[in-house]
Amino acid sequence: MGTVHLPPDDRKKVEKLMPHTFVVLKRFRLRDEMRGLWLLLVLVAAAQAERVFIGDQVIRVNVQNEEQIQLLQALESQEAWELDFWLDPVSTELPVDIRVPRSSLSSVKEYLRVNNIAYSVLINNLQELLDAEKAEMEMNQMKERRTRSFNFGAYHSLETIYSWMDTLVAQYPNLVSKQEIGKSYENRPMYVLKFSTGGSKRPAIWIDTGIHSREWVSQATGVWTANKIATDYGTDASLTSLLNTMDIYMLLLANPDGYAYTHSNDRMWRKTRSINSGSVCRGVDPNRNWDAGFGGPGASRNPCSDSFHGPSAHSEIEVRNVVNLIQGHGNFKSFISVHAYSQLLMYPYGYSCEKVPDQPELDSVGRAAVQKLTSLYGTRYKVGSICNIIYQASGGSIDWSYNMGIKYSYAFELRDTGRYGFILPSNQIIPTASETWLALKHLMEYVRDHPY
């Protein structure tokens, strides 16, 4: 039966004759409208809700043989279990760390038991660590507002880091400038801090942090390091001589959309936030998107994978912005990318296990840098090419920079070795940054003293 539309005058007459019926009809209409509004609110809330990890565990397998690697790789392809491999099954030399959702714990543990694969639990309830991390951040924010200070031993939001950059530039206007190199996919500005004492297109060193958004100690180390460069210029003779002949460029938030998303929606988010055509899954792994062995081993063609390489090399605007700056400048002598975790210092290649022409020099310089790092707190790092020290991984940034002729291309994997993984407590930020600074400084001094 169709809807009957009464003229206004007739409607009033009927309403007088049957007032109760009209009240009931109004109630039904109002209830339907409220239900529609409620559904809309639920959908909006779901889109904006912060993901929780109650009962999720991070388990570690110390792989014994090649058969176990293959069994764990098969586990990786079980999409229904929604496993998040923090460290991939690639080698008997390296542990495998897996975040297992609570709903999949019994299935995964049974699979490991049946296949005689021993494991240990690193994190018993991930949400507890995340709750503590968030509470600490909120307390720090209140303290910073009250004291009008910036705590380098705390994690910060994108907006706070960008605001702090302006403060640094205002404090050291003759040394530091902030340059926008483009916008992100979600239209956030991407800023580099340029440390320079003058001249144009002088030999330069590139440092980026946070290309994988969930690796928060990377961005925090970048912030501490930028402050260290600014405050030590003029008092540290070696750094001063370096900045008198070279420039340093620092991109603290190489994946701004991803970083903002780790604060608002999903602490474990790694990729960019671009929309993938034909898929409900968003984002591309920005460190599989470079034009260096693009689409090869160690990268996924599945848009739902955390290592999805994207539709084409440099498809991600965040990657293109860096490529354009590096190529436009044309005089970078070192390219350093800072990740977490595993305590490694690596050089090219990732996409191939063949030795690069400069392998002996890159290896010896890396080992000397790590020796400096270890001297502070005894933190142990391994040194080697990406392919040989962890796994074959194509489309990485330092492979691209090396192929562009930037000889001194390195990637750090900062603390720790898995106890906390991506949720490194904030009380380790300054120790991590301080020891890493000694390695960075050695690399930069070597680049200064070995022009090419």
Q: Looking at the annotation, which residues are catalytic? A: 413
CB 329 within 8 A of CB 192: no
> What value, to the nearest 5°, has the Cα angle with vertex 303 and ends 276 and 394?
115
* Residue in 224, 185, 186, 183 with CA at minimum distance from that of residue 207: 224
DSSP notation for 256-287? HHHHHHHHHT-TT--S--PBPTT-S-B---TT
CB 288 within 8 A of CB 310: yes
d(CA 98, CA 96): 7
- For residue 185, cis peptide bond before it (omega within 30 degrees of 0): no
CB 409 within 8 A of CB 402: yes
d(CA 212, CA 255): 7
What is the β-pairing status of strands 96-100 and 382-385? unpaired
What is the β-pairing status of strands 344-347 and 382-385? parallel
* Residue in 255, 238, 311 with CA at minimum distance from that of residue 278: 311
Give me the helices (H) in 233-339, please. Answer: 237-243, 256-264, 317-329
Amino acid (1-letter code) at residue 386: I
> What value, to the nearest 5°, has the Cα angle with vertex 19 and ends 17 and 20?
125
| Radius of gyration of the chain, Cα coordinates, nearest whole angstrom | 26
206 burial (CB, 10 Å; 0-12 / 13-18 / 19+) is buried
CB 229 within 8 A of CB 168: no
CB 81 within 8 A of CB 107: yes
- In total, the chain counts a number of residues equal to 452
Contact partners, residue 197, CB within 8 Å, separation at least 6:
174, 175, 243, 244
